[in-house]
Chains A and B, each alone.
Chain A
Amino acid sequence: MSDFSFWIILKNLIWATQWTVYLSLIAFVGGGIVGLILLFLRTSQVKWLEVPTKLYIEFFQGTPLLMQLFLFFFGVALFGIEVSPWMAAGLALTLWTSAFLTEIWRGCVEAIPKGQWEASGSLAMSYIEQMRYVILPQAMRIAIAPTVGFSVQVIKGTALASIIGFVELTKAGTMLNNATFRPFLVYALVALIYFCLCFPLSWFAKRLEGKLNVAR
């Protein structure tokens, strides 16, 4: 009997893990795209583009992710728009991720010596061309390690989506615990699965850091 429920629990948790993975991927890819756009605005030296970007970043970095999920899930409903947990979680996590990625990448862009901007500018290149051909190829090298490192935070952040009723790994754990009353087993398995998702990424990030820190 007990063996039977162990396999049932594990099977259900692994099934739910796919939604954690999907949500993480959406947040990371979507956040990456939005983050890249914000990065261009944030480093453009154009004040009316920079200030709203800064406010956006401050908002998403300065408030709990849980509050952002609530705002998207309950807040948007106030305007008469029906929001599914999927939509709310995907959107909130994407925007939250974009704010952090923008700041990580801005640091990498600012680490590129000023002379690179001056040399490319003196060759009549526009801001977008400078970013595209001179600054980003160099900044990317130093950005890879912290970006992969941050993806671990995104995966762990998806756990909060359980609170608005999105069935991913954590929510599945809660439901299974309610059914089996074996909290230690259930949550130990949940934690183990998260670890199996996150550890390879942090290991990879560490390795990249060592490798890419050796300048050409």
Chain B
Amino acid sequence: MSLVSIRDVRKSYGDVEVLKGVSLEVEKGDVVAIIGRSGSGKSTLLRCINGLETYQSGAILADGIEVGGEHANLRELRRHVGMVFQQFNLFPHLTAAENVMLAPTVVNKTPKKEARAIAAEVLAKVGLSEKMDAYPSQLSGGQQQRVAIARSLAMRPKVLLCDEITSALDPELVNEVLRVVEQLAKEGMTLILVTHEMRFARDVGTHLVFMHHGKVHESGAPKAVFAAPQTPELQQFVSGIG
């Protein structure tokens, strides 16, 4: 069975239907890049996968757990599904290490010492070993986002959701974050990314999903899809990006 299975999911805000029957299968080790115009429903879809948004019909199974079930299920699900946000959302009153240690100690009841070791490990992975005791306000945007990635990794997720994680960064800081994500992909982490970084989607992604008007409009292997887009909408989107 797929790691994440999305079946005919529909969601509306009042009269506006933002997801009009989306289906998507994500296998272990896949790197799925979701692209599309703003308002196409790509962020909403991503947020449905870990229950930050609810949906009206269809089904989402992540690691065999039905999303949208009762509360206890959602907690179990989120232990295995990590998320990184556009605005970092680090906890400003905690240091980088404390940000990373919080969920392991509170949710998994990992002893402090062990949690500190996990923090050291994942912060080293994102290249921030020397910033363990820095507060978020003392870090650049790129460093903050890397701490946010480390914070998710500390829970040992089976899949990591990335919601436009470079969109709030200054251009010169984008690459340091993308390099970290690329490294994760190489290590076999399952990733679902909503992104505007087309080159990254093509070079690192194993699957490309183009969303348009709340539907999966076109999908396939990134290089093939970018080389020869089948639908006029994607052609226009790709040429618009340049």
Taking beta carbons and an 8 Å cutoff, which residues of A are in contact with B? Answer: 113, 115-116, 118-126, 129, 133-134, 137-138, 141, 216
Beyond A124-B78, A125-B103, is A119–B93 a contact (Cβ under 8 Å)? no
- Are A123 and B75 in contact, CB atoms less than 8 angstroms apart? no
Report yes or no: B78 in contact with A123, Cβ–Cβ below 8 A. Answer: yes
5 A–B pairs (Cβ distance < 8 Å), ordered by A? A113-B89, A118-B83, A118-B85, A122-B81, A216-B137
Shortest B132–chain A CB gap in Å is 18
| B interface list, Cβ under 8 A from A | 50, 52, 75-76, 78-79, 81-83, 85, 87, 89-93, 102-103, 106-107, 135, 137, 148, 151-152, 155
Question: CB < 8 Å: which of B78, B90, B151, B152 contacts A121?
Answer: B78
**Residues of B with C-beta under 8 A to A121:** 52, 78
CA distance A119 to B50 in the complex (A): 11
Contacting pair B83 A122 (CB below 8 A): yes
Q: Which residues of A contact B82 (CB under 8 A)?
A: 122-123
Closest Cβ neighbor of A135 among chain B residues: B91
Contact A115:B89 (CB < 8 A) given known A123-B102, A123-B151: yes
Shortest A8–chain B CB gap in Å is 53
Q: Which residues of B contact A133 (CB under 8 A)?
A: 102, 106
CB contact between A124 and one of B85, B92, B103 (< 8 Å): that residue? B103
Taken together as a complex, chains A and B put the C-alpha atoms of A141 and B92 apart, in Å, by 12
Q: How far apart sit A137 and B91, CA to CA, in the bound complex (Å)?
A: 10
The reply to whether A119 and B85 contact each other, CB–CB distance below 8 Å, is yes
Cβ of B79 to closest chain A Cβ, rounded Å: 4
**A-B Cβ contacts below 8 A, count:** 63
Q: Which has the most chain B C-beta neighbours within 10 Å: A113, A119, A121, A134?
A: A119
The 5 closest A-B pairs by CB, nearest first: A119-B89, A123-B103, A115-B89, A124-B78, A122-B83
Q: How far is the CB of A111 from chain B (nearest CB, A)?
A: 13
Main secondary structure of the interface of A (DSSP, over half): helix
Contact between chains at A216 and B135 (CB < 8 Å): yes
Contact at B85–A116, with CB atoms within 8 Å? no
- For B107, give its contact among A115, A116, A129 (CB under 8 Å): A129
Contact of A123 among B87, B92, B93, B155 (CB under 8 A): B155
Q: A134-B91, A137-B93 are in contact. Are A124 and B137 (CB under 8 A)?
A: no
Q: Within the assembled complex, what's the spacing in Å between the Cα atoms of A156 and B83? A: 50
Residue among A115, A116, A124, A125 with the highest chain B CB neighbour number at 10 A: A124
Q: How far is the CB of A99 from chain B (nearest CB, A)?
A: 28
How far does the alpha carbon of A118 sit from the alpha carbon of B155 in the complex, in Å? 16
Whether the pair A122, B106 counts as a contact (CB closer than 8 A) is no
Q: Which residue of A lies closest to B91 (CB)?
A: A134
With a cutoff of 8 Å between Cβ atoms, the chain B residues found around residue A141 in the complex are 93
Instruction: Kindly list 13 other residue pairs between chains A and B, CB separation below 8 angstroms, not including A123-B155, A129-B107, A134-B91.
Output: A115-B85, A115-B89, A119-B90, A119-B91, A119-B148, A122-B52, A122-B81, A122-B82, A122-B152, A124-B107, A126-B75, A133-B106, A216-B137
Which residues in B have their C-beta under 8 angstroms from that of A216?
92-93, 135, 137
Q: Is A116 a contact of B89 with CB atoms below 8 Å? A: yes
Compute how far the CA of A170 lies from the CA of B185 in the bound complex, rounded to whole angstroms: 73
Query: Which of B81, B83, B92, B107 gathers the greatest number of chain A CB atoms within 10 Å?
Result: B92
Query: Chain B contacts of A126 at CB under 8 A?
Result: 75
Residues of B within 8 A of A125 (CB): 102-103, 106-107
**CB neighbours of A113 from chain B (8 A):** 89
Residues on the A chain within 8 Å of B52, using CB: 118, 121-122
Check A116/B137 contact, CB under 8 A, given A124-B79, A124-B107, A133-B106.
no
Q: A115-B87, A123-B102, A125-B103 are in contact. Are A138 and B92 (CB under 8 A)?
A: yes
C-alpha spacing A216/B85, complex, angstroms: 22
* Complex CA–CA separation, A70 to B59 (angstroms): 57
Closest Cβ of chain B: how far from A114's Cβ, in Å?
9
Closest chain B residue to A114, Cβ basis: B89
Q: Are A122 and B93 in contact (CB under 8 A)?
A: no
Distance to closest chain A CB from B152 (angstroms): 8
* Nearest-Cβ distance from residue B109 to partner chain A, whole angstroms: 11
Decide: B91 and A122 in contact? CB cutoff 8 A.
no
Contact partners of B83 in chain A: CB under 8 A: 118-119, 122
Closest-CB distance, B144 to chain A (whole angstroms): 12
